Amino acid sequence: MSFFPELHKLCPDVKFYGVGGDSLRNHGVELLYHLKDFSSMGFSEVVGKIPFYFKALKKIESEVLSRGTQTAILIDFQDFNMRLAAKLKRHGVKILYYVAPQAWAWKAHRAARLSENVHTLFTILPFEKEWFGSKGVKQIKSIPHPLMITYKNELSLIPEKPFGSWGKELKILLLPGSRNFEVLSLLPEFIKTIHILRKVMDIKVCLVTVSHINTDIYEMYKNDVDVFYSSEDLIKAMKECHFAIAASGTVTLSTGLFELPTVVCYKASLLNEFIFYNLIKYQGPISLTNIIHNQRLFPEFIQGEVNPSLISSVIKTWTTNEKIYNELKAKLKETRKLLSGEAFSVPIYMSQVIHE
């Protein structure tokens, strides 16, 4: 929530409270709940926390009434915040929804609920403003993607990597995810891919670790990895490497912004796989770089398709076919423009709504 420090300065008379992390607490926000209390991954984990979510909804609604709250800024966490928005709107609270749920992927009916309950909807993907507008949402602001702000000072310093720039040593970045189950399921396949590639070329393997992942998982592959980076050094790793193999997630948009050709992989539990294939109607790409470009620039391998032979074949193509490589790099250069949003200040706009 990078806009909050400035918003706080613009609203010195406003008391902020709600759900947040350490950063918001350090900026003076009274936390009713910490973000970690809401953490869950996949359908099976969410089900177990349903009683907690309903209790939290009731508590937040009660606090809003007792404090006479007039404006609420709801951030992400779609299922929870969509319900909270409906409850608060009934009490006359203005809802600033940051950022739009991916209703275009599934649950399109949420657009109608947003049109009924939200004062302003903030969107971060290039096609979302038109899509939600066509569904009846009246007040929409297209903003730069948060990663554009995070990487603001670095995106102008992306090194050029023309075809063949790897010379005799190809640097491949492994990004196996930020959850234990992701790393456990994907990292072995990534390493098998490296073994295949090392039969035909010299590979330097770089891997970004995440602090909360069990270190024993990484330790199993210490002999296969040449350089370990911490998550804080992700930018350095992306700049230094030529290609990446990554778990599906926000990091695949990071690699797109840094013009790093990436193979995207996704594995889930059997229950989540059943839901994905049987209950979700969305048939488009899953990685954000592909979604915003509306084409599969990054190859995607899902569930049983996560196969070292298939992944390695992509890398081989990129290193041997100059035309395909150059076309991909040219398209990746457009990523920043697609995520630039409208020229306006989020904190100034929010402060104006708060003081209406």
Name which residue leads in pLDDT, 69 or 282: 69
Q: What is the pLDDT of residue 46?
A: 65
Pairing of strands 170-175, 30-34: unpaired
Residues of the chain with CATH 3.40.50.2000: 11-143+342-354, 155-338
Closest C-alpha among 198, 191, 195 to residue 217: 191
Lowest mean pLDDT among 87-101, 102-116, 129-143, 319-333: 102-116
pLDDT at 116 over 60: yes
Name which residue leads in pLDDT, 33 or 105: 33
Q: What is the pLDDT of residue 281?
A: 58
pLDDT at 106 over 90: no
Q: Is residue 279 very low, low, confident or very high in pLDDT (cuts 50, 70, 90)? A: very low
Question: What percent of the chain is predicted at pLDDT more than 70?
Answer: 93
Q: What is the pLDDT of residue 205?
A: 98
Q: What is the pLDDT of residue 313?
A: 98
In the chain, which ranges are continuous DSSP H helix?
A: 4-10, 22-26, 42-48, 50-67, 78-90, 110-117, 128-134, 146-150, 180-197, 215-219, 234-240, 251-257, 270-278, 288-293, 308-320, 322-332, 335-338, 346-354
Q: What is the pLDDT of residue 269?
A: 59
CATH class given for the domain over 155-338: alpha beta
Q: Which residues pair with 230 in a beta bridge?
A: 209
Report the chain's mean pLDDT, rounded to a whole number: 92
Q: What is the pLDDT of residue 43?
A: 53
What average pLDDT does range 182-202 have in this prediction? 97
What average pLDDT does range 126-136 have in this prediction? 95
Q: What is the pLDDT of residue 173?
A: 98
Q: What is the pTM assigned to this prediction?
A: 0.85
Q: Is residue 153 very low, low, confident or very high in pLDDT (cuts 50, 70, 90)? A: very high
Measured distance between the N- and C-terminal CA atoms of the chain, rounded to whole angstroms: 22
What average pLDDT does range 40-52 have in this prediction? 68
Q: What is the pLDDT of residue 188?
A: 97
Q: What is the DSSP letter of 77?
A: -
pLDDT at 200 over 80: yes
What average pLDDT does range 176-182 have in this prediction? 91
What average pLDDT does range 91-107 have in this prediction? 92
Cα–chain-centroid distance for residue 274? Answer: 23
pLDDT at 334 over 80: yes
Question: Among 3.40.50.2000, 3.30.30.60, 3.40.50.970, 3.40.47.10, what is the CATH number of 11-143+342-354?
Answer: 3.40.50.2000
Q: What is the pLDDT of residue 60?
A: 98
Phi and psi (nearest 5°) for 65?
-70, -45
Q: What is the pLDDT of residue 107?
A: 80
Lowest mean pLDDT among 45-54, 161-170, 304-313: 45-54
Phi and psi (nearest 5°) for 261?
-55, 130
